[in-house]
Amino acid sequence: MSSQRYLRMSLRAPWLRAVLFLLVAAAFLAYRIGPGLRGRRVCMVLVDGRPVTVVKTRQQAEKLLDQIKRAHGPAEGVEFAQKVSFRLVSASRHPVKGEKEARAALSRRLTPVIEGEAILVNGEPLIALPTRAEAAKTLALIQQEFAPKGRGFTVVFKEKIEVKKERVPADRYAQTAEEAVKKVAAESKPVTIHTVRAGETAWQLARDAGIPLRALASANPDKDISNLRVGEHIKIPGRGGGITVIATTVIQEPVGEGNERRLQLTRMTYENGVLVGREVIGYRLMPGAGNTSPRRKSETPKKPKEEYHFDWP
């Protein structure tokens, strides 16, 4: 009897058909409920490939991520600087965390970012806004906020300022120029002048001010900060992006007596509203003192105009 004919006859046997049915059914059940037999499956959330927390389902994980985004702005505009992935794991080996605990763990590891027109100070983002026009308005308002009040000042930025589209941390984003200035002002301190005391070092001054050592060195280019001298005056820059508004004006002060009376022209320099320099730039005869000849036009300095400048295209 041929093997094919024997196989056809065997398949007609009721017991063999029953065995085949049971095998197929067992395979189907193993496929459908096998993971459940091995243990309940839960969702592990990974940040840059490293496990951070475990929740019940992927839907719950995505909901937590959405909540973190919405806490920093419109969820559709916020992304994460890190890569987030998911993996199904056994609940018996990876206990599920509570929603509050899981969100806190994710918040510690994730950096929400958002794209906007960023104001860069020496290459570092200070604040970002939706449009370039709002960024320009913000720069003008910062100059007004940090410069001394009154007319006759020429106002510029000390650092290199540029505006470009860039992703920034979401807490560095503002919807309007007014909101942006409030953020910068709240995080900034004005430049202060410190008199070096015995035993003080540049590292200690930077640490106490909460600024990088390089920021202290940049604020004092004419000083050797590695070798401070007692009694030396050091500028301590403020925080909040390290933006410095320099305002200058020229004042006239009477000096001398009798025929020697004259007006001393002094340039006053302010950094973030704090007076940091006085420089005598010339003198002018007062009417009736010494030379009584009519004043020439060139002897009267022009009154400085109020100007605002910033260096970016």
Contact 39, 33 (CB under 8 A): no
Q: How far is CA 45 from CA 20, 94, 107, 211, in A?
A: 42, 11, 12, 35
Number of H helices, E strands in the chain: 8, 14
**Per-domain residue ranges of the chain:** 10-38, 41-110, 115-187, 192-236, 246-306
pTM value? 0.60
What pLDDT does residue 30 have?
61
3-state helix, strand, coil in the chain (%, to 5): 35, 30, 35
Beta bridge partners of 173: 128
| Matching residue, tokens 């003198």 | 283
Other CB atoms within 10 Å distance of the CB of residue 148:
16
Q: What is the pLDDT of residue 272?
A: 82
Residue range 192-236, CATH number: 3.10.350.10
pLDDT digits (tens, 9 = 90+) for 6-30: 555 555 666 666 777 777 777 766 6
Element (H, E) at 51: strand 50-55
Phi, psi of 112 (to 5 degrees): -70, 135
Distance, CA of 78 to CA of 173 (rounded, Å): 10
Provide block-wise average pLDDT over 10 residues at a time, the chain (313 residues): 56 66 72 57 95 95 93 80 94 92 94 93 90 96 89 91 93 92 79 87 84 75 86 78 85 84 90 84 74 48 51 48
